[in-house]
Amino acid sequence: MIVRPMQSWFRMLFIWNGSVLQSIIPQLILLGVFSTIAAFTHGRVFGEKIPLSPGSFTLFGLTLAVFLVFRNNASYARFIEARTSWGSLLIASRSLMSQILSYAPERNDSVMRSEIIAFAYALKHQLRGSDALPDLTRLLGAQRAALVTGKAYAPVYLLKNIRDRLAQLGPAAEQGSTRWLLDAQLNELEKCVGACERIKSTPIPFAYSVLLHRSVYAYCLFLPFGLVDSSNYLTPLLCIFISYTMIALEAIANEVADPFGLAPNALALDAITVTIERSVLELCDQPIPPELEPGRSYQLT
């Protein structure tokens, strides 16, 4: 996730880090060369004039813009749902640890604390498809970490371990109400896992992506032939600018549609998991690690 202070209107024109421009430069160069050739040939291919007018591109561009808005809204909805789920996960982790400290002090051991933190790290690695062993070894020890990483659904397995420990709560008179209270937080954590798994395993239908991709590039390739008569040698500049808008919107939609990835505009799961660890440790009066800060590229992972 790009985290940087707002810049002046002038500096915003030249921002490089955090934009998708660097990922679409090859496409823009190719379209720029193509539109330059179209301008110098006055819109002719093999001697034949391509009869396209700016009016037709206005109508098609409006339709394409509506489709791009739909695609970006669908992608952003996934991003917001993912961020909401991780926000709920942070709240539930804090609440669970706080309730254990207040209502079940006999279960306030380092294992319980470590498993709550390890749960967040295990979920992050499961969503990103990365290796959870180093983080889990630091939190749980080598033997237990090896056991957890061998599970297909490590976060759910850790929640079961936490529930098993909480099932052994203290005085019989308090067991019913206390278990219900703590189990409600565990259920909330399981809902967060399910929501993240749903987003991860259900991408935007591929047919939408294919149709949008083909339409954007077809529009950009034919655009020079519609502008060359009215714009003449300014055609390449206009085509590059319009193509940048269309292709950049598609690229942003593709990045945001995968909120758990490592793209510059994906969620900062590393920072969120560190925040969960800091919050749980602070509740237990333990030393807390430093917060993650954006690097020189203003990206927070």
Prediction pTM value: 0.87
Cβ-proximal residues to 84 (8 Å cutoff; 6+ apart), any chain: none
DSSP state of 124: H
DSSP state of 45: E
Identify the pLDDT of residue 172: 43
Cβ-proximal residues to 229 (8 Å cutoff; 6+ apart), any chain: 42, 43
DSSP state of 44: E
Note whether 226 and 59 are within 8 A (CB).
Answer: no
Three-class SS of 220-239 = HHHHHHHHHHHHHHHHHHHH
Note whether 52 and 222 are within 8 A (CB).
Answer: yes
The rounded average pLDDT for each run of 10 residues, N- to C-terminus, in the chain (301 residues) is: 69 74 88 87 75 76 84 91 94 91 71 91 93 91 90 92 80 62 90 94 88 89 84 85 89 89 87 93 89 73 79
- In sign, the C-alpha dihedral spanning 204, 127, 194, 196 is negative
Alpha helices in the chain (DSSP H): 9-12, 21-40, 54-103, 110-128, 133-140, 142-149, 154-166, 172-201, 206-231, 235-257, 269-283
The phi and psi torsions of 255 (rounded to 5 degrees) equal -65, -45
